[in-house]
């Protein structure tokens, strides 16, 4: 069979390509930590982009930007709101994807997914029971962590159940509703409201406990014009022990207690480029008034979005979202406020956990 000039050229080119072709290198193995003990950073991602990530960090090692994706070959979804460890599993509330992902605490592999509309935070009550708070509704879901199933639904008189805290057989629930000035107390045996506690301010969003067993409830909704307040509460009697009123421009979030339980920390956010009411604040639980200046000042056009205190060292971990338009970072500060180190994270670091 005779070949035309162009066929001959084509064959020669093909043979040349075959001769020059090299084997493609094998794709690198996904990076996973040698030990599961480290720092987990829940990175919200950019709302609507589905780029939430779970960053893992161990001192002396390079951070893993998304340990979930490395373990599963898929993305988490849209807005990773929180992470809760129950036994040997991690429960990831993926807010805008309307799901709770259940993964192994050691290998980070997906084990189950629970369908819940706008999940926010999870509070373990026992090995077989946990409460899930939600946004844009008045519902708290009860799940069985062992079977990864919804077992009950609790209804509140207010919208947006948010922060929750377990004490004995009672759960204290913040309803982040601008019309509410109450802290709701649930009986875990009956899943009903047993009593309410009146707070100093409206729109309660978070609750923590100090070393004396007293509750600190952070209230307020800056975007809706509801000034922020701290209420220190006796959880047994419901008595308001102290009230602290923030300036109208202050937007406090992410309360945290130090390991000793004698110092309260929080972030004040200024998203408009200014430095006033912008940074990490702290005060003793016996303080008579709010601090006037931040313990760690945020610079112009910067604000913090995550805050946690290392229970082992007392070091302060903060997350900088960098406007949610690029990779964020975590800064680690010593107890005197000096910067020790930092590392890069996924987009929008919002919460930090130690395991």
Q: Name the average pLDDT for the chain.
A: 92
Q: Which of 74, 119, 82, 130 lies closest to 97, judged by CA?
A: 119
Angle at 28 between CA 25 and CA 30, to 5 degrees: 160
In sequence order, what are the beta bridge partners of 330?
319, 343
Stated as kind and residue range, the H or E segment containing 42 is: strand 39-43
pLDDT exceeds cutoff 90 at 22: no
Tokens of 253: 């979030």
Q: Which of 116, 135, 125, 231 lies closest to 170, judged by CA?
A: 125
Dist CA 278 CA 301 (whole Å): 10
The tens digit of pLDDT for each residue in 144-199 reads: 999 999 999 999 999 999 999 999 999 999 999 999 999 999 999 999 999 999 99
Instruction: Work out the percent of the chain whose per-residue pLDDT is above 70.
Output: 92
Neighbours of 136 (CB within 10 A): 9
pLDDT exceeds cutoff 70 at 25: no
For range 216-228, the mean pLDDT: 97
The CA-based dihedral angle spanning residues 15, 16, 18, 21, taken in that order and rounded to the nearest 10 degrees:
180
For range 61-90, the mean pLDDT: 97
Residue pointed to by tokens 């000096």: 338
């Amino acid at each position: 069979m005779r070949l035309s000039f162009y066929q001959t050229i084509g064959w020669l080119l093909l043979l040349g390509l075959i001769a020059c072709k090299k084997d493609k290198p094998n794709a690198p193995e996904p990076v996973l930590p040698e030990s599961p003990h480290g720092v987990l950073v829940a990175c919200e991602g950019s709302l609507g982009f589905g780029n939430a990530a779970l960053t893992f960090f161990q001192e002396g090692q390079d951070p893993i930007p998304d340990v979930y994706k490395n373990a599963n070959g898929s993305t988490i979804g849209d807005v990773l709101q929180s992470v809760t460890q129950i036994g040997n599993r991690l429960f990831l509330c993926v807010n805008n994807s309307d799901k709770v992902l259940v993964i192994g605490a050691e290998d980070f592999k997906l084990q189950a997914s629970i369908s819940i509309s706008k999940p926010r935070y999870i509070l373990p009550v026992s090995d077989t029971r946990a409460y899930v708070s939600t946004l844009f509704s008045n519902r708290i879901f009860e799940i069985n962590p062992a079977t990864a199933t919804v077992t009950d639904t609790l209804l509140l008189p207010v919208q947006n159940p948010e922060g929750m805290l377990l004490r004995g057989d009672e759960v204290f629930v913040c309803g982040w509703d601008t019309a509410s000035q109450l802290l709701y107390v649930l009986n875990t045996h009956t899943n009903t409201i047993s009593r309410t506690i009146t707070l100093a301010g409206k729109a309660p969003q978070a609750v923590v406990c100090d070393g004396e067993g007293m509750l600190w409830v952070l209230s307020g909704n800056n975007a809706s014009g509801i000034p922020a307040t701290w209420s220190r509460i006796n959880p047994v009697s419901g008595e308001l022990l102290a009230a602290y009123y923030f300036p109208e421009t202050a937007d406090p979030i992410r309360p945290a207690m130090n390991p000793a339980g004698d110092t309260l920390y929080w972030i004040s956010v200024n998203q408009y480029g200014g430095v006033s009411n912008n940074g990490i604040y702290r005060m003793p639980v016996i303080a008579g008034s709010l601090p006037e200046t931040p313990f760690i000042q945020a610079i112009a056009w910067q604000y913090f979005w995550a805050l946690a205190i290392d229970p082992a060292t007392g070091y302060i971990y903060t997350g900088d979202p960098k406007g949610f338009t690029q990779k964020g970072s975590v800064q680690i500060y010593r107890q005197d406020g000096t910067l020790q180190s930092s590392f890069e994270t996924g987009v929008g670091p919002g919460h930090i956990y130690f395991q």
